[in-house]
Structure 1
Amino acid sequence: MRRILVVGAGQSGLQLALGLQSKGYEVTLMSNRTAEEIRTGRVMSTQCMFDTALQHERDLEINFWEQQAPKIEGLGVSVAAPDGSRPIDWLGRLKGYAQSVDQRVKMSGWLDTFAQRGGQLVIHGASVADLDYFSRTYDLVLVAAGKGELVSMFGRDAARSPYDAPQRALAVSYVHGLGPRPEHPETEAVRCNLVPGVGELFVMPTLTTSGRADILFWEGLPGGPLDVFNGVKDPAEHLALTLGLMEKYTPWEYARATKVELTDAGGTLAGRYAPVVRNPIGRLPGGGLVLGVADVVVANDPITGQGSNSASKCAASYLSSILMHGDKPFDEAWMKATFDKYWFTTGKPVTQWTNAMLGVPPEHVLNLIGAAGQLQPVANRFANGFDNPADFDAYFYDPEDAADYLAEVTAAAEPSSVGASSAE
């Protein structure tokens, strides 16, 4: 029986630990908090997991909240004009529904499950010295704790990290009492509201500790009008700031938020971090090697909602690589190959798309977003790119590819419109 140590109890660490445990590995999991501390603490993230990532949870039979969480069937984009109007507003339909489960609910539940199934759970904030000691007694050490001292073992990959400073200031509120969008009251959807030169507001249905809720999530350009949450400690003040900015920049979203209240005292979060790709292999003082997982090695801005999706895909990819390796040693060559498989299938496409969305959109991207309001197939394809970001490579980055794609969709749509007018 191979012994594996997983450090970090987030989406990737817990999914990987539960997956290895189900395959008969002897797994030790280190978490810096107990399940109860996670459950009763502050919100840790926004998260909307799309169909591929959800399927990884179903495959491991750890999709415990699938029947309770809202089924998100659409993804909408609105673009704000300076006068408070929205010249672009459309809804793309997802092929398979997405879901959001507050990580306080999910991670505490998974942590309990891991322990109930006989896993060794160590509640301790691991240091590099701890890992140096433990590495001698485990066949493989996986680091899935994306903050703190351990991250310093993984050097920044400058060639893959164009930014060295945060590109957005982030502010999150979990609320009850949000009304539906009047245009599609029957459809649960994630709403991406783009405010040029200012930032973005995301609104998404979720399941939290007190049941169904919604997440209001501002991403503001640093130093801009949305960058006002730093140092705000009072949750009520945080929500009031959020709503005031909604009233000013996205009045159509504010109109359905006039009766909201926070889900709980821990329902707000603010901060910022620089997107970064790191070298995947960490070297311990005693010569041992550890492998970084998910956002330890590929941390993107949440503007494209890929954090939990990438974490799930990374855990699934690493699990496959471990199982295929059998009883051979987990050496440096294996670690590099394991990360490379994840990078080229998931990490690279996500990083390319996210970094593109952080910049000022070029004209052809504005054309695509505008065309999605007239051409439903374009809206649907953009929405489903959140599940499969590699698809953007075919039409999103190059102006000629975008023009060819729009011409193709327009031509396909014309016969039906001609038929409709002649029938009239």
Structure 2
Amino acid sequence: MRKILVVGAGQSGLQLALGLQSHGYEVTLMSNRTADEIRTGRVMSTQCMFHTALQHERDLQLNFWESQAPRIEGLGVSVAAPGSFDPGPSQRAIDWVGRLDGYAQSVDQRVKMAGWMETFAQRGGQLVIHGAAVSDLDYFARTYDLVLVSAGKGELVSMFGRDASRSPYTQPQRALAVAYVHGLGPRPEHPEFDAVRCNLVPGVGELFVMPTYTLSGRADILFWEGIPGGPLDVFQGVKDPAEHLSLTLELMERFTPWEYARATKVELTDAGGTLSGRYTPTVRTPVGRLPGGGLVLGVADVVVANDPITGQGSNSAAKCAASYLDSILGHGDKEFDEAWMRATFERYWDTAQHVTKWTNAMLGPPPEHVLNLIGAAGELQPAADRFANGFDDPADFENFFYEPEKTGAYLASVAGG
């Protein structure tokens, strides 16, 4: 029986550990926190998983909360009219919602990771609660057939060098601020179904609102992405959750009053329901070399970390875990050497490159043809639907998003139809 060590108990690490376990591998999972510590801690992310990523969970029968989490059937875009918020509240220049072919869902990672970790242990997996250092992996690499590193922060990431050819940014492109709330009203444009709402404020940043399932049931996530140094970049140093929520709502009232109108009675879900920070989008080389000569393979955020502006983090983690699982199963009893590690990553990169390209494009000012596309989607429902479903399959953006000629031809074909 092949022995595999997975370091890191997030979406990718746990999904991979549980998948390998189900195929008879002897799996050890290392986490720096217990399930109870995760469950009672601070929120770790925003997450909205679309159909393909959810299907990977279903394939492994890990969709424990599917009947409880809200079914997200649409994705809407609102764009504030440039300058309309100065001096008063902003107005919408664009507002539409696209319908998803398969519903999306969001489950608070405190709920999911704690539940999955307990399941892994109940199924006989070896769970080690320890914040692993490079020196630990140097020792473990000698006793396992394969070591996978899925802990996307801390010392371990330093083993994986930045791939400059795939990483255009050297600084964070957004300041991030998250609040999980109860009491948000429905969007009056579509009270009969749930949708993720993407609110773009040109030159300022973005507000994302997404339904979720948390420790106390149905909730919503209010997520600001602010251009560094701008009016949304005010959350650094804010430790008090109530102050964090107050700031979130003040900014909504000024920049997205149509969202603030349904948020006047919100309350934080719990004392750990806020999060803020920033990080630089980075693609790293996939193979880490240990001091003793052993090799480890980076997983998901360790090797491809995108800004959350396109909501792809948990989706990419699930897709990476599924791709790596297939590569491991297909490798049989052969050695997990450096050539296999690099080939395994490149297979995943075939999918991940589309996420990185799209995300990096969305972080910059949109070119005229993209503005035309987003504007036209308000009049052409097929365009709104296609844009929305690109969140599930970002590869499709190659066909109608990046090049003015393809965008123009697509809009002409839709308008003609």
Q: TM-score, normalised by structure 2?
A: 0.98
In the TM superposition, structure 1's runs of 4+ consecutive aligned residues that sit over 4 Å from their partners are none
Question: Which of 327, 331, 347 is the matching residue for 1:325?
Answer: 331
Name the count of aligned residue pairs: 411
Structure 2 residue ranges without an equivalent (≥5): 85-89
State yes or no: 1:385 paired with 2:390. Answer: yes
Give, as a single letter, the amino acid of the residue that structure 1 aligns with 2:306.
N
Matched, 1:133 2:139: yes
Give the 5 Å matches for 1:154-233.
Answer: 154-233=160-239
Report the CA distance between 1:349 and its aligned residue: 0.2
> Which consecutive residues of structure 1, in runs of 5 or more, have no partner in the other structure?
413-424
**1:134 Cα offset (Å):** 0.2
Q: Deviations over 1:237-260 (max 9, x none)?
A: 000000000000000000000000
| Counterpart in the other structure of 1:417 | none
RMSD of Structure 2 on Structure 1 (CA): 0.4
Query: Separation in 2 of the partners of 1:94 and 1:205?
Result: 15
Q: Tell me whether 1:360 sits opposite 2:370 in the alignment.
A: no
Instruction: Identify the residue that residue 271 of structure 1 maps to in structure 2.
Output: 277
Displacement, 1:87? 1.5
Alignment partner, residue 91 of structure 1: 97
Who is 2:352 aligned against? 347
Q: Tell me, yes or no, if structure 1 residue 409 matches structure 2 residue 414.
A: yes
Alignment match, 1:104: 110
Of 303, 307, 319, the residue aligned with 2:309 is 303
- Shift of the alpha carbon at 1:187? 1.1
* 2:70 corresponds to: 70
Aligned amino acid, residue 372 of structure 2: N
Q: Counterpart amino acid of 1:21?
A: Q
C-alpha displacement of 1:5: 0.1
Work out the CA distance in 2 between the residues paired with 1:98 and 1:181: 17
Q: Secondary structure at the match of 2:92?
A: coil
Which residue in 1 is equivalent to 2:3? Answer: 3
Corresponding position of 1:47: 47
- Structure 1 residues 108-154: Cα deviation after superposition (integer angstroms, max 9, x where no partner): 00000000000000000000000000000000000000000000000
Per the alignment, in what secondary structure is the counterpart of residue 16 of structure 2?
A: helix
Normalising by the residue count of structure 1, what TM-score does the alignment of the two structures yield?
0.97
Displacement of 1:183 in angstroms is: 1.0
SS at match of 2:62: coil
Counterpart of 1:399?
404
How far 1:72 sits from its partner (Å)?
Answer: 0.2
Which residue does the alignment assign to 1:376?
A: 381
Distance 1:105 1:208 in 2: 7
Q: Residue in 1 aligned with 2:258?
A: 252
Aligned partner of 1:117 in structure 2 is 123
Q: Which amino acid aligns with 1:75?
A: L
Letter in 2 for 1:105: V
Q: Does the alignment pair 1:33 with 2:38?
A: no
Q: Deviations over 1:311-347 (max 9, x none)?
A: 0000000000000000000001100100000001x21
Letter aligned with residue 71 of structure 1: R
| 3-state SS of paired residue (1:87) | strand
Query: CA deviation digits over 1:134-179, x for unaligned, max 9?
Result: 0000000000000000000000000100000000000000000000
